[in-house]
A and B are shown apart, each in its own frame.
Chain A
Amino acid sequence: DGGITQSPKYLFRKEGQNVTLSCEQNLNHDAMYWYRQDPGQGLRLIYYSQIVNDFQKGDIAEGYSVSREKKESFPLTVTSAQKNPTAFYLCASSFDRRGYNSPLHFGNGTRLTVT
């Protein structure tokens, strides 16, 4: 079955440590996205990538970094510069690299807790 795999499901880190969240897709989709979800705030776009070796900042990119070395993979690093990293992180992909009329397919998320 094709889909998006995010790992791990739960992640705990100490403040000041960088942490990398994994996202892999086998849907052969061009575009990939990272969203952050906080209670009562909906989903906010962190970064997105339309093709390999290229990515764009979303609305809340500060304190995060990404890479897109392979079409299937789009890892997100939460750096120590991110002031409030505790959240639920969702990775998504879409078939059309233009993205705007192509539905998103989501992974099951990673819940990050930083203490």
Chain B
Amino acid sequence: AQSVTQLDSQVPVFEEAPVELRCNYSSSVSVYLFWYVQYPNQGLQLLLKYLSGSTLVKGINGFEAEFNKSQTSFHLRKPSVHISDTAEYFCAVSEAGFQKLVFGTGTRLLVSP
């Protein structure tokens, strides 16, 4: 069964600094990978997805992620963060043929001036 690990529960960073949010998954078959963002008291919003093809995926709001099959990782990056990026970020994985999307426990990104 697939699982997702987000090791960092919270990542503090200063405005305009780069950031990387880590995501590792375990699966023995082909996977589809997603990053979602959640602002306080709201639902989740898709940032980007990897289904196939290029391992570098670009998403909304200047975020990108790289799929690394050998390291079973899908880390999220942004070269320069804004205060408005403060939110919780969830990595999720699904396996081909299975209905279920499995979420990580989330990483809270705190951007300060």
The answer to the question of A56 belonging to the interface, with a C-beta cut-off of 8 Å to chain B, is: yes
Interface size range of chain B in the complex: 20 to 34
The answer to the question of A99 belonging to the interface, with a C-beta cut-off of 8 Å to chain B, is: yes
Segment with Cβ contacts to B, from A12-20, A40-48, A68-76, A79-87: A40-48
Within 8 A of A (CB), among B94-108: 94-101, 103-106
**Residues of B contacting A111 with CB < 8 Å?**
41
The complex places the Cα of A1 from the Cα of B9 at a distance, in Å, of: 34
Please give the residue numbers on chain B whose beta carbons come within 8 Å of chain A beta carbons, in ascending order. 9, 32, 34, 36, 41-46, 49, 51, 90, 94-101, 103-106
**Residues of A contacting B41 with CB < 8 Å?**
108-109, 111
Q: How many pairs, one residue from A and one from B, have CB atoms within 8 Å of each other in the complex?
A: 67
**Residues of A contacting B42 with CB < 8 Å?**
108-109
The answer to whether A103 touches B99 (Cβ under 8 A) is: no
**Residues of A contacting B100 with CB < 8 Å?**
45, 48, 58-59, 99-100
**Residues of A contacting B90 with CB < 8 Å?**
42-43
The answer to whether B34 touches A103 (Cβ under 8 A) is: yes
The answer to whether B44 touches A98 (Cβ under 8 A) is: no
**Residues of A contacting B36 with CB < 8 Å?**
104, 106
A98 shortest CB reach to chain B, Å: 7
The answer to whether B105 touches A106 (Cβ under 8 A) is: no
Please give the residue numbers on chain A whose beta carbons come within 8 Å of chain B beta carbons, in ascending order. 4, 6, 31, 35, 40-45, 48, 50, 56, 58-59, 90, 92, 98-101, 103-109, 111
- Identify which of A50, A99, A100, A111 gathers the most chain B CB atoms within 10 Å of its CB: A100
**Residues of A contacting B106 with CB < 8 Å?**
40, 42
